């Protein structure tokens, strides 16, 4: 590879029905390195397992990458000068180079399969199969042909591929292909130190999307699994493109921590623009004249995408339901509500006056303020957690506040 060659990275998943977080992290590192260096990011589908590589499984990969915002320059649905980008469409290409290896006596046939002659000087690696007896190429062979012909300059992949590397380098050299730079990133483990799997909970990008995780938070978290920049935890996409480098990728396995992902998600929601938050609201909410004020008041408490809608709902919906588990709290102040509603109906509807009316009312009834405030919160919001109740009441409006208390 010449020093001036354009950097070309790739992500080459085997479709399994979803985009695993380990694969997503690999794709992200390749994407970041290509984008930072004005290179190209290629998507190639290793679909030789025909039983598992269904159109739906392939689409799940594409959908996951698009959700993360990892666009590819060449590959499925995009095309490019180095296709096809599906291994099952490249069988003639594999056979061409297989014939070359056989002609060079670098490979031989046995029992219908084709074996590569190991060139390991220490004889630790024995001859190995590069085409099965059913005619399908083996991974270690096909991946070399693909990467060489697609002019991949940098291979960034999980360290579970370390043992494949010597065999692949042998094939590169036997075919006089330039060997790309190969970087192995640490595995992602569950909290118990075992390889991340379904028993640890969600493992696919799609599942986390369904749990209300922002794609920008997921990208931030995936980047920090095995890579670090000083002690910084919060990264925007622009931060990552500026600061990502392969020499900061660690050697120790990364532990997937759902709590940390949830924390990062909340941080991204807190720092998101109102326009970004509005992406997740239904059209009728967006038409509300106070939607910007509602979002601003609620933003610091947001945890997931679902919370965006929930935090707006009680300001906009005409009626809200009190959950059964909070009914007793709501009922604890029922006897006082008609009188309080009557006083609020004639209150100057600004925060200081609203707060004074409620606190003075509680004092006259010889009640701690909390004995009125908590039932108010439950009745007005349908929850026992909300922004400051007086800020909520001011924004909710006098008419709707009095109506709910009068029900």
Contacts of 227 by beta carbon, 8 Å cutoff, 6+ apart? 29, 185, 244, 248, 249, 250
- Alpha helices (runs of H) in 272-304, residue ranges in sequence order: 274-278, 283-286, 291-298
Q: Quick one: tokens of 282? A: 């239904």
Report the distance separating Cα 33 and Cα 221, nearest Å: 17
β-strand partners of 131: 114, 137
Q: Would you call 104 a catalytic residue per the annotation? A: no
What's the number of CA atoms in the CB half-sphere (13 Å) around residue 343? 15
Catalytic residue among 198, 230, 251, 259: 198
Q: Are 61 and 19 in contact (CB under 8 A)?
A: yes
Place of tokens 């991974």: 139
Report the distance separating Cα 125 and Cα 269, nearest Å: 51
If we measure between CA atoms, which residue out of 398, 396, 375, 407 comes closest to residue 314? 396
Report the distance separating Cα 157 and Cα 162, nearest Å: 9
Contacts of 253 by beta carbon, 8 Å cutoff, 6+ apart? 186, 187, 188, 189, 193
Contacts of 2 by beta carbon, 8 Å cutoff, 6+ apart? none
Phi, psi of 107 (to 5 degrees): -145, 165
Q: Are 26 and 226 in contact (CB under 8 A)?
A: no
Report the distance separating Cα 246 and Cα 248, nearest Å: 5
Catalytic residue numbers, as ranges: 198
């Amino acid at each position: 590879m010449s020093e001036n060659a354009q950097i070309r990275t790739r992500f080459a998943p085997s479709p399994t029905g979803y985009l695993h977080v380990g694969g997503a992290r690999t794709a992200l590192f390749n994407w970041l390195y290509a984008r930072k260096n004005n290179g190209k990011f290629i998507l190639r589908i290793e679909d030789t397992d025909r039983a598992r590589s269904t159109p739906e499984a392939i689409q799940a990969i594409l959908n996951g990458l698009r959700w993360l915002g990892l666009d590819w320059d060449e590959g499925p649905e995009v095309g490019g000068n180095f296709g096809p980008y599906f291994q099952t469409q490249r069988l003639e290409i594999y056979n061409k180079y297989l014939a070359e290896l056989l002609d060079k006596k670098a490979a031989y046939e046995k029992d219908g399969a084709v074996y590569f002659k190991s060139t390991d000087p220490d004889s630790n690696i024995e001859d190995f199969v590069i085409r099965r007896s059913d005619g399908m190429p083996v991974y270690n062979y096909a991946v070399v042909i693909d990467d060489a012909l697609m002019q991949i300059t940098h291979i960034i992949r999980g360290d579970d591929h370390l043992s494949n590397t010597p065999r692949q380098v042998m094939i590169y050299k036997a075919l006089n292909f330039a060997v790309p730079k190969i970087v192995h990133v640490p595995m992602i483990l569950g909290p118990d130190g075992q390889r991340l799997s379904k028993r640890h909970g969600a493992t696919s990008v799609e599942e986390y999307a369904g749990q209300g995780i922002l794609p920008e938070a997921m990208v931030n978290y995936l980047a920090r699994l095995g890579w670090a920049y000083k002690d910084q935890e919060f990264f925007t996409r622009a931060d990552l493109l500026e600061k990502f480098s392969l020499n900061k990728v660690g050697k120790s396995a990364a532990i997937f921590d759902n709590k940390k992902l949830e924390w990062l998600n909340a941080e991204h929601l807190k720092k998101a623009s109102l326009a970004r938050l509005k992406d997740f609201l239904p059209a009728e909410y967006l038409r509300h004249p106070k939607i910007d004020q509602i979002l601003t008041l609620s933003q610091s408490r947001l945890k997931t995408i679902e919370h965006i809608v929930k935090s707006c709902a009680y300001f906009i919906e005409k009626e809200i339901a009190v959950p059964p588990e909070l009914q007793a709290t709501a009922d604890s102040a029922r006897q006082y509500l008609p009188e309080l509603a009557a006083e609020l109906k004639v209150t100057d509807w600004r925060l200081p006056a609203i707060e004074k009316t409620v606190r003075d009312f509680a004092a006259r009834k010889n009640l701690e303020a909390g004995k009125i405030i908590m039932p108010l919160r439950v009745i007005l919001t349908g929850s026992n957690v909300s922004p400051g109740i007086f800020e909520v009441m001011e924004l909710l409006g006098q008419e709707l506040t009095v109506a709910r208390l009068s029900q």
